[in-house]
């Protein structure tokens, strides 16, 4: 089973279905199909979802919905906040956008 870890502050919105997108820097091996989302701390229960699409694009091509669901107001904020972990990150860098629906 595929799995993905997300920050604890996103788990409630994943469980209630308001967060359905994750953006990951670089290439991510997630494929359409079943996926278990786990909290970074392990304190939240695992949430099963069904990945409906996986796209690769540049940061500058991210939609406002993709940015807001990831907690960023714009591409420059995303780059600035992620640069400590990814020093070479720029708006031209590639990301993987994972879109899901909560499994029934």
Structural domain count of the chain:
1
Report pLDDT for 28. 93
pLDDT band at 104; cut points 50, 70, 90 = confident
Report pLDDT for 60. 97
Q: What is the CATH number of the domain that holds 49?
A: 2.30.130.30
Mean pLDDT of 82-90: 96
Mean pLDDT of 24-47: 96
Residue 79 has pLDDT above 80, yes or no: yes
Give residue 58's domain range.
2-102
How far is Cα 35 from Cα 8, in angstroms, rounded to an integer? 17
The strands making up 94-102's β-sheet, listed across from edge to edge, are: 2-6, 33-39, 47-58, 94-102, 21-25
Mean pLDDT of the chain: 95
State pTM to two decimals: 0.92
């Amino acid at each position: 089973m595929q799995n993905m870890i997300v920050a604890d502050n996103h788990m409630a919105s994943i469980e209630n279905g308001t967060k359905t997108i994750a953006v990951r820097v670089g290439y991510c091996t997630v494929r359409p199909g079943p996926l278990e989302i786990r909290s970074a701390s392990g304190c939240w229960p695992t949430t099963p979802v069904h990945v409906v699409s996986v796209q690769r694009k540049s940061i500058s091509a991210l939609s406002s919905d993709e940015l807001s669901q990831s907690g960023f107001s714009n591409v420059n904020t995303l780059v600035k906040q992620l640069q400590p972990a990814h020093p070479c990150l720029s708006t031209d860098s590639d990301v993987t956008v994972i879109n899901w629906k909560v499994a029934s």
